[in-house]
Structure 1
Amino acid sequence: MEKILEVKNMHVSFDTFGGEVQAVRGVDFDLNKGETLAIVGESGSGKSVTSKTIMRLIPTPPGRIKEGEILFGGKDLAKLSEKEMQKIRGKDISMIFQDPMTSLNPTMKVGKQIMEGLIKHQKLSSSAAKERAIELLGLVGIPQPEVRINQFPHQFSGGMRQRVVIAIALACNPKILLADEPTTALDVTIQAQIIELMKDLQKKMNTSIIFITHDLGVVANVADRVAVMYGGKIVEIGTVDEIFYNPQHPYTWGLLSSMPSLDAKEDELFAIPGSPPDLINPPKGDAFAVRNQFALKIDLEKEPPMFKVSNTHYAATWLLHENAPKVEPPPYIKRLKETKQLSKSGAKASDHK
Structure 2
Amino acid sequence: MEKVLEVKDLQIAFDTYAGEVNAVRSVSFDLYKGETLAIVGESGSGKSVTSKSIMKLIPTPPGKYKGGQILFDGKDIVKLNEKQMQQIRGSEISMIFQDPMTSLNPTMKIGNQIMEGIIKHQKISRAAAKERALELLRLVGIPQPEVRLKQYPHQFSGGMRQRVVIAIALACNPKILIADEPTTALDVTIQAQILELMKDLQQKTESSIIFITHDLGVVANMADRVAVMYGGKIVEIGKAEEIFYNPKHPYTWGLLSSMPSLESGDSELYAIPGSPPDLLDPPKGDAFAARNEFAMKIDLEKEPPMFKVSDTHYAATWLLHPDAPKVEPPATVQRMMEKRRLTSSKSAVAVKEGDRNE
User: TM-score, normalising length from structure 2?
Assistant: 0.96
Separation in 2 of the partners of 1:139 and 1:256? 34
Partner of 1:237: 237
2:185 maps to: 185
Say if 1:11 and 1:25, in contact at 8 Å, map to a contact too: yes
1:12 maps to a residue whose letter is: I
CA distance in 2, matches of 1:237, 1:348: 26
- Return closer, same or farther for 1:147/1:345 CA change in 2, 3 Å cut-off: closer
Please give the residue correspondences for 1:238-257 in structure 2 after superposition, counting only pairs within 5 Å: 238-257=238-257
Change (3 A) 1:222 1:281: same
Name the Cα RMSD after superposition. Answer: 1.6
Which residue identity lines up with residue 300 of structure 1 in the other structure? L
The within-5 A match list for 1:38-187 is 38-187=38-187
The one-letter code of the counterpart of 1:321 is H
Per the alignment, residue 197 of structure 2 pairs with 197
In structure 1, give the amino acid aligned to 2:61.
Answer: P
Secondary structure, in 3 states, of the residue corresponding to 1:295? coil
Change (3 A) 1:183 1:340: closer
The alpha carbon displacement at 1:161 in A equals 0.3
Distance in 2 (alpha carbons) for counterparts of 1:288 and 1:41: 12
8 Å CA contact 2:95–2:178 kept in 1: the answer is yes
Distance 1:344 1:42, change over 3 A: closer
Q: Does the 8 Å contact 1:96/1:177 carry over to 2?
A: yes
Name the SS for the 1:263 alignment partner. Answer: helix
* Pairwise CA distance, 1:336: 2.8
Query: Taking structure 1 as reference, are residues 115 and 290 closer, same or farther at Cα in structure 2, changes over 3 Å only?
Result: same
Give SS of 1:106's match.
Answer: coil
Once the two structures are TM-superposed, the CA of residue 268 in structure 1 deviates from its matched residue by: 4.6
How many residue pairs match? The answer is 353
**Structure 1 residue 344 displacement after superposition:** 6.7
Question: 342-351 or 283-292: which moved more?
Answer: 342-351
Taking the aligned partners of 1:312 and 1:141, their CA distance within structure 2 comes to 36
SS at match of 2:262: coil
Conserved 8 A contact 1:245-1:333: no
Matches of 2:343 and 2:168, distance apart in 1: 41
Rate the CA distance shift 1:348–1:211 in 2: closer, same or farther, 3 A: closer
Counterparts of 2:114 and 2:337 in 1: how far apart (Å)? 46
CA deviations 1:233-254 (Å, max 9, x no partner) are: 0000011110011100000000
Q: Which residue of 1 aligns with 2:209?
A: 209
User: Deviation per CA, 1:298-352, whole angstroms, max 9, x where unpaired?
Assistant: 0000000000001110000000000000112100111133335545776898979
Q: With structure 1 as the length reference, what TM-score do the two structures score?
A: 0.97
